[in-house]
Structure 1
Amino acid sequence: MLFKRTKKQPKSDHVTVTLPQVKQAIRKFEEDMPGPINRTALILEDKRIDMSRLKRYLGGIPERNFYMSRETYEIFEEEDKLVPYYLDLVQAAVDSYISDTGKLPLLEDTWLPEVHYRLLSTESYLKETPPFPLYITDEEMMLTHRAEHFE
């Protein structure tokens, strides 16, 4: 068990956890699962992580939700729950665009490799525009929302 039960509800299964603890529990879950099962098995339709499946690693069910991108495996706290939704949406659009055109859908004249949402939308690859920029990394053309990744 990675931590103790919360004091305000000693008899419940709810616990207080940190993002690093959730990440550690997910790694342990993935290590314990047979070959074809990976961490994406934990992702619910709304991108929430199914904490009931991590209960044995965390000592209970967290009091708050955590979210994961199916495409990048990045894990987020409640306040950033829209990030994995948009990462997955735009990653699929970028992958399709690259596959069809052989080009990267990037804004021109920017110092960061920012995804060109308008291009993807007008070419019918993207149905919804994120309210924040996403960037294409050198690591297998995966997306990130963190500009500091390039510093």
Structure 2
Amino acid sequence: MIFKRAKKYPESDHVTVTLPQVRQAVRQFEEEMPHPINRTVLIQEDKSIDLTRLKRYLGGVPRQKFYMSRETYEIFEEADKLVPYYLDLVQSAVDNYISDTGKLPLIEDAWLPEVHYRLLSAESYLKETPPFPLYITDEEMMLTHRPEHFKS
């Protein structure tokens, strides 16, 4: 088996960046790639973004790590690195549940469209329960972890 060795960059190549800068760099990367290549090629197994591929957009290799959901394309800082993992896990379960039943797996009488984890687990769609609530949006039934998404 051949292992790919991580390329080391000199300290002078490292930069400190913000979340908005990384979001912009990811958009630029995707715009410049030929179709059908999209931003998901940047996502590594642990959901972290391969920031070395964004070096030219960011002016160097970021010191921080950032993470992206393969399902929603949302980008997160290190402190929120579990969010994309659970977004992808639950989005897949929700999509499969809707496909099989034609219904949304929501908690009844909740003031927001919160995903019903126990229902998905009981029906064997979900293997692991997130430690925070996720909500189903009107935008193509995509999930969000932000309740403020629903404020008018």
**Which category describes the TM-score, using the shorter chain as reference length?**
over 0.9
Deviations 1:111-147 (A, max 9, x none): 1000000000000000000000000000000000000
Residue in 2 that maps onto 1:19: 19
Residue in 1 that maps onto 2:101: 101
Is structure 2 residue 42 aligned with structure 1 residue 42? Answer: yes
What is the distance in 2 between the residues matched to 1:24 and 1:147?
24
Counterpart of 1:57, as a letter, is: Y
What's the C-alpha RMSD, in Å, of the aligned pairs? Answer: 1.0
Where has structure 1 moved over 2 Å in runs of 4 or more?
A: none
Deviation at 1:59, TM superposition (A): 1.1
TM-score of the two chains, using structure 1 as the length reference? 0.92
Structure 1 range deviating more: 112-121 or 55-64: 55-64
TM-score of the two chains, using structure 2 as the length reference? 0.92
Deviation at 1:11, TM superposition (A): 5.0
Deviation at 1:13, TM superposition (A): 1.4
Q: Tell me the secondary structure at the aligned position of residue 12 of structure 2.
A: coil
Residue in 2 that maps onto 1:78: 78
Deviations 1:81-108 (A, max 9, x none): 0000000000000000000000000000
Counterpart of 1:82, as a letter, is: L
Counterpart of 1:54, as a letter, is: L
Is structure 2 residue 52 aligned with structure 1 residue 52? Answer: yes
- Counterparts in 2 of 1:37 and 1:73: CA distance versus 1, 3 Å: same
Residue in 2 that maps onto 1:32: 32
Deviations 1:51-76 (A, max 9, x none): 01101111111001000000000000
Mapping 1:116-135, distance limit 5 Å: 116-135=116-135
Counterpart of 1:25, as a letter, is: A
Residue in 2 that maps onto 1:115: 115
Gapped regions of structure 2 (runs ≥ 5)? 1-9
Aligned length: 142
What is the distance in 2 between the residues matched to 1:14 and 1:130?
34
What is the distance in 1 between the residues matched to 2:13 and 2:43?
21
Residue in 1 that maps onto 2:87: 87
Identity of aligned residues (%): 84
